[in-house]
Amino acid sequence: MIAISFNRKVDPELLRKALNQIKEEWSDKEILLVHGTMDRETRNLKGVPTQKLDIIDEIFPPETQQSFYGKLGTKRKTMARFVYLNNALVYFIGSIPRKSGIKEELETYRTYLGKNFRKQVRFVKK
């Protein structure tokens, strides 16, 4: 199992490149992709572009994904606990602005993963 986190402003081509690399790296294993990305229905209702979700779905079919997005936004603590309990790797894709949801997510993973943080977290910046 793997998890991905990315900033809303991540370059779509960086996201595509990173996801393709992850898929290739994990090609010999069955993958469950965990993320906190807003679902397509909510995006359409709010008029939010679906480009990044389209990229995720193109590389990892929806049936291989588990989203932790809820009515109040991304359930970061629940997602981090799930990652911790399943010993998953987490890939942070793109930059992590100081005051952002992804920064909060990073700190949540740091708390839940504790001493395993360095083993279970990867950063993809280019």
What does the alpha-carbon distance between residue 45 and residue 30 come to, in Å, rounded to a whole number? 33
Name the band, by pLDDT with cuts 50, 70 and 90, for residue 98. Answer: confident
pLDDT at 77: 95
> Could you give the 3-state DSSP secondary structure of residue 29?
coil
pLDDT at 8: 85
DSSP run (H or E) holding 108? helix 101-113
Q: Report the CATH number of the 2-124 domain.
A: 3.40.50
pLDDT tens by residue, 100-115: 888 999 999 999 999 9
Strands 65-67 and 121-124: unpaired
Domain boundaries, the chain: 2-124
CA distances from 30 to 26, 45, 60 (A): 8, 33, 11
